[in-house]
Amino acid sequence: GLGDVYKRQVPTHIRPDGRVHADFRNTNTDTGRLSCANPNLMAQPKRNKVWAKKMRNGFYAPDGWKIVSMDYSQIELRVLAEEANEQSMIDAFRSGIDLHTMTASEMFDVEMDDVDKLTQRLPAKTINFGIVYGISAAGLYRNMATVRGCEHWTQALAQQYIDLYLQRRPGINDYIRDTISMAKRYGRVWDWAGRIRRIPGARLVSEYNRAEAERQACNARIQTGAQSVIKRAMYELYPVYMGWRDMGYDVWPAIQIHDDIVSIVPEDLIDVLVPVQRTIMET
């Protein structure tokens, strides 16, 4: 099974220093994400099995160091709010309002304090994350059909909620329209940092294949844009890390996992590193 694959493969990559050093590639994905191989440390098993817990316990910092993990909160939704100039989302993020609860409140016409987490917040969250990635009424219906309390859902009702969402978020409607136009005109789209993804399918005659290309186009500017934020943060952090190393602090940049930057940090540097890194990542 999968457990045997992990248990057999990971130990074969241990280097002479007793640690695993994976290979990272910057040009292997369409979304701009880093990819990892030999072994793939971005896809370690979840903790719900005994063998998986034992595997994860193999990743630890030496005595005197700690593993520091700092990740972005809802980075893709924040990039979407910026790209779409959707003021309702921007206001929610700036004021610390839970975006999914706010969306549920609007969709189901209830006060935010009265939103039900399962039957109202969950579908709102699914739409928030899925709308730019081309979630369909059928897809939303499949997500909700097995949720307790949502047995009355139909595909038509799911479509109504998607339509209502887009009415409430005109900036996202404009973003989708403008991105599809960009893909059709240029055969490619690009994110805020200029990273390009080619979308040749946007000009196809086949409606099915063209729709898939349009979904990829809308997806690309957000996923790639989020990665560009994180890569910029890594770029800004590198000289700071090297400065600490020059001062005698043996801090190790360890791994980036999508929206998470993981480092191995001397315990006496943590109180200095965390606020500095947080400021760099946030700005």
8 Å CB contact between 65 and 264? yes
Any alpha helices (H) in the chain, and if so which ranges?
Answer: 2-9, 50-56, 75-84, 87-95, 99-108, 122-130, 137-145, 155-168, 170-186, 207-246, 270-282
- Annotated catalytic residue: which of 71, 98, 178, 259? 71
DSSP state of 118: I
Distance, CA of 198 to CA of 190 (rounded, Å): 9
163 classed as catalytic: no
Residue 20: exposure state from Cβ atoms within 10 A (0-12, 13-18, ≥19): middle
Three-state secondary-structure class, residue 270: helix
Rounded to 5°, the CA angle 208-212-214 comes to 115
Tokens coding 40: 């793939």
Three-state secondary-structure class, residue 183: helix
Q: Which helix (H) or strand (E) holds 261?
A: strand 260-266
- The residues assigned a catalytic role are 71
